[in-house]
Amino acid sequence: MAAQNLGRNNSDSSQSPLGRKPAPASDAPLCPGAVVSAATEPARDGSAWVKTGVDYDGILLTSFGGPEAQEDVIPFLRNVTAGRGIPDERLEEVAVHYRTHGGVSPINDQNRQLRDALAAELERRGHQLPVYWGNRNWHPYIVDALNDAHEAGAKRLLAIATSAYASYSSCRQYREDYADALEALQLNGEVEIDKVRQFFDHPGFVKPFELGLREAIDSILAELPELQPDDIEVLFTTHSIPTADAEQSGPDSRDFGAGGAYAAQHLEVSRAVVTSVEEGLGGTPLSWQLVYQSRSGPPSQPWLEPDINDVIEGLPAAGKRAVIVVPVGFVSDHMEVLWDLDNEARQSAADAQLAFRRTPTPGVHPAFVSGLADLVEERLDGTPKADRPACTGIGPWYDVCRAGCCENTRLGFRPAIAGLQP
């Protein structure tokens, strides 16, 4: 079977790196003449788009992770916030979101489904590529998935992170985690890992949002026939991040303006979705904006705004009678979607007496799974940039992250793979 069923490692050995989040890597060593750490030979020279195909041994599907029992919640949140000195009593303020769902985040089960769906799609296309799944912050960890791949004989892996946009937390931090796992397992120089490009504007990622928005509009107008499309406000929402981190997103060679590549990519994807849906409505214009959610920093630290709940509160004064929330920043319905949108944003809409719809995330939509397989084939075949699909003028994004891309403003640049050394 192509999909690998990874479970929790309960090793009692204090020396084993398995079953735990590895320590940060001390280095990401380069092969002689290479400028990209741990890369396969075609990617070692740092070309933005790799033009030579690679015969990979497997796919490394990686995600954020989430607890699957009440006793997991605080240890999981300690992993997420490691190094920040946040006491458990403050973590309990966030833990309630998980505890109201039995201590279970849906993200792990969704990733099991995605792993199996991607493996099946690759097999359907004639690729015998095992899909190994591991998480940044909970079982199974990336180090466990990498160990399973290595024990199966894999030498060349292609990584996919379940995060579509450019920023520290959605791209570079995963690349750091790959370096951490390689060092923890002492596999530097033995296992090579490339990473697919950020897929924010790949049609396979964008299409489910287009379909969801059109369905939500039709649903509201069918339920409330007295409304017109201009009575509806469409809010494209994504996770807020510190403004300083947003401004560091994307390579420093490109000026994306305020909010960096992170904000620019979300805006362009939202615009692409709206344009497609407007065409399907015969050119009827839609009122829309990009908003942010789930900020967690101190009030003194600037984060990207406006907040979704503040915007919803002001919609009646703007003449709106309904709101459609499109979670364009999210791949699946994890806790920030279930709690912050299906709970808090829905309540904000009810308080404002607005009809409310929240569209689905891509999840395991066939278009999304097919799009991920397309990204794998780009690297198997060495597809030229000109032949790679993108729904915005920003992409297609880079196979090898550029120098100076997505620095963590608090920690600086740590060892990472699949990118030029900053």
Task: Summarize pLDDT for 52-111 with one digit per residue, the tens.
Answer: 999 999 999 999 999 999 999 999 999 999 888 889 999 999 999 999 999 999 999 999
What is the per-residue pLDDT for 3?
Answer: 55
| Residue environment code for 316-343, b if the CB has 16+ CB neighbours within 10 A, otherwise e | eeeebbbbbbbbbbbbbbbbbbbbbbee
What is the per-residue pLDDT for 298?
Answer: 83
The HSE-up count of residue 133 (CA atoms within 13 Å, CB side) is: 26
Predicted model pTM: 0.94
Strands (E), 41-183: 58-63, 131-135, 156-161
Lateral strand order in the sheet of 58-63: 131-135, 58-63, 156-161, 192-195
**β partners of residue 211:** none
What is the per-residue pLDDT for 360?
Answer: 98
What is the per-residue pLDDT for 6?
Answer: 38
R_g of the chain computed on alpha carbons: 21
**β partners of residue 3:** 131
Sign of CA dihedral 117, 272, 265, 156: positive
Domains of the chain, first to last: 41-66+105-198+365-387 (3.40.50.1400), 203-358 (3.40.50.1400)
Low-confidence residues in the chain, pLDDT < 70: 1-14
In angstroms, the CA 129 to CA 139 distance is: 22
What is the per-residue pLDDT for 14?
Answer: 60
What is the per-residue pLDDT for 253?
Answer: 83
Q: By the 8 A CB rule, do 328 and 266 touch?
A: yes
In angstroms, the CA 285 to CA 270 distance is: 14
What is the per-residue pLDDT for 387?
Answer: 98
